Amino acid sequence: MDDLTEETLVFQRIADFHEWFAERRAASACSVTRARLDQLDGWHIQQGTGTIQHHSGKFFAVDGLEISTDHASVSSWTQPIIIQPESGILGILVKRFHGVPHFLMQAKVEPGNIGLLQLSPTVQATRSNYTRVHKGKAVPYLEYFQAPRRGRILSDVLQSEQGSWFLHKRNRNMIIEITDDVEVLEDFCWLTAAQLGELLRWDHVVNMDSRTVLAGWPLAETHWGRDAAIDRDQLSELLSWFTEAKSRYQLTRQRIPLTNVKNWIISPERIVHENDAYFAIVGVDVKGAGREVAGWSQPMIEPRHPGVVAFVTRHDGDEPRVLVHAHTQAGTHDVVEMAPTVQCAPGNYEDTPPDRRPSFLDYVLSAGRERVLFDALHSEEGGRFYQAENRYLVVEAGPDLPEETGPDFAWMTLSQLAELARYGNYVNVEARNLLACLLFT
């Protein structure tokens, strides 16, 4: 093996990455323009029900959902939601050069990304993509993530995605370490963990799919050092806290015709909430190179406000601990998942009296700069969400944090959170994204 050849697109300095990334951006001419929902090429609005779906019946659909729960600020509501029963593959290839793990990342345009081009996993493909429903190009590197596989499996788990916007969607998150020679295709590059950590501190560079996959990177490989042995009794307490929350609350959902959602204004152009809150369903036309197909149209979710996703942490033991929230959302698979301390769009709570605002929201937003350990803006999934921006925050708890946080919250170590994230539908996508930021920075 010729290391010099093989290590093509390993960057000595992060500035070299930025130069390469700027080149890729220039090469990936792409335009995204808004379009009316009733004029999206390949899509139709079903007579009667209003369901927005693809002619192939594949990809995804936008439909209505009725939610009843005793674990939200209102006990029932209806909303549009994305129905995407297929699960895709999000996979990152890892290879050690001179002992240092490198991650094969892809510069990829997605219509909803802020800045359009961001770093994706090696493979980011829905089943429709990789079974080539749209007759596009083959997905490169897919063979590393499909049976029969070679390589060392570091992570492989079906994980949930945004519960406010997806019903039961999940993707297979994989990290595979190989020793094979790999051809580095155009748009791909190798990055070290340290480089990824630096880029996670930049706004809108590392995409959501990369972040959720990176949450599976073993803690022992990070600067946090060896995995602390997981204490059985402590883990039993946490699992019991989670089981208790699942048992304490109820969540029932029923799909309804999209035309039956209440408090939403449906027009041939778009769907908006009557208070101009939450999100809208909009259409986009995409023209651009570097994708499986030359151009396409699709509906997307456009959030009305940017969000805040924050962990409150404590460094009073051997290992930092994070305050995890047992959280229920419209699309949550099984009543609750483990969410960050705070996860909401503050813009939706502007007129809410202080005692009814989300717990710890004001606490994290008002934290002094010296207590903010991590602060970056990231885009959510650019294939479904249009310019969905979250502020990812890690805030060290001060002495003013109440000792008693209530039954919906639990403190856990990074090791414990990382261990739970190895199982599906325990740790939600926002918490996994923050976990990735903590593991790599």
The continuous run of DSSP H or E covering 67 comes out as strand 61-69
The CB-of-174 to a copy of itself minimum distance in angstroms stands at: 8
d(Cα 313, Cα 360) in Å, to the nearest integer? 12
Interaction between residue 25 and a copy of itself (CB under 8 A): no
CB 397 within 8 A of CB 364: no
The CB-of-226 to a copy of itself minimum distance in angstroms stands at: 11
The CB-of-149 to a copy of itself minimum distance in angstroms stands at: 8
Residues 6+ apart with CB under 8 A from 188: 9, 104, 105, 106, 107, 122, 140
Among 179, 243, 260, 267, binds a copy of itself (CB under 8 A): 243
d(Cα 430, Cα 118) in Å, to the nearest integer? 18
In 10 A of CB 120, how many CB atoms?
A: 27
d(Cα 129, Cα 148) in Å, to the nearest integer? 20
Among 158, 194, 294, 377, binds a copy of itself (CB under 8 A): 158
Q: Which is nearer to a copy of itself, 69 or 118 (CB)?
A: 69
Q: Which is nearer to a copy of itself, 136 or 424 (CB)?
A: 424
Among 247, 254, 267, 352, binds a copy of itself (CB under 8 A): 247
Interaction between residue 248 and a copy of itself (CB under 8 A): yes
Tokens 């007129």, residue located: 351
Question: Position 364: which residue type?
Answer: V
Q: Is 197 left (phi over 0), alpha (psi -120 to 50) or beta?
A: alpha
The CB-of-87 to a copy of itself minimum distance in angstroms stands at: 7
Q: Is 314 exposed, middle or buried (0-12, 13-18, 19+ CB in 10 A)?
A: middle
Is 324 strand, coil or helix? Answer: strand
Q: Which stretch binds a copy of itself (CB under 8 A): 136-144, 191-199, 235-243, 278-286?
A: 235-243
Interaction between residue 90 and a copy of itself (CB under 8 A): no
Q: Which is nearer to a copy of itself, 4 or 229 (CB)?
A: 229
Q: Which is nearer to a copy of itself, 58 or 422 (CB)?
A: 422
Quote the tokens at residue 144.
């590393």
DSSP structure string for 152-205: EEEEEEEEE--TTTEES-EEEEEEEE--S-----TTEEEEEHHHHHHHHTSTT-
Interaction between residue 423 and a copy of itself (CB under 8 A): yes
Interaction between residue 254 and a copy of itself (CB under 8 A): no
Among 220, 265, 294, 377, binds a copy of itself (CB under 8 A): 220
Longest dimension (CA), the chain: 65
Interaction between residue 407 and a copy of itself (CB under 8 A): yes
Is 46 strand, coil or helix? Answer: coil
Interaction between residue 147 and a copy of itself (CB under 8 A): yes
Interaction between residue 265 and a copy of itself (CB under 8 A): no
The CB-of-248 to a copy of itself minimum distance in angstroms stands at: 7
Among 25, 58, 305, 422, binds a copy of itself (CB under 8 A): 422
Interaction between residue 142 and a copy of itself (CB under 8 A): no
d(Cα 85, Cα 342) in Å, to the nearest integer? 28
> What is the footprint of a copy of itself within residues 173-192 (CB under 8 A)?
174
271 secondary structure, DSSP code: E
d(Cα 7, Cα 26) in Å, to the nearest integer? 24
Is 419 strand, coil or helix? Answer: helix
Interaction between residue 97 and a copy of itself (CB under 8 A): no
Interaction between residue 232 and a copy of itself (CB under 8 A): yes
Among 18, 25, 246, 255, binds a copy of itself (CB under 8 A): 246
10 secondary structure, DSSP code: B
Among 14, 72, 114, 154, binds a copy of itself (CB under 8 A): 154
The CB-of-106 to a copy of itself minimum distance in angstroms stands at: 21
Interaction between residue 240 and a copy of itself (CB under 8 A): yes
Interaction between residue 441 and a copy of itself (CB under 8 A): no
Among 156, 198, 389, 396, binds a copy of itself (CB under 8 A): 156
Question: Position 154: which residue type?
Answer: L
d(Cα 301, Cα 281) in Å, to the nearest integer? 5
Q: Which residues bind a copy of itself (CB under 8 A)?
A: 87, 147, 152-158, 172, 174, 218, 220, 227, 229, 232-233, 235-237, 239-240, 243-244, 246-248, 407, 422-424, 426
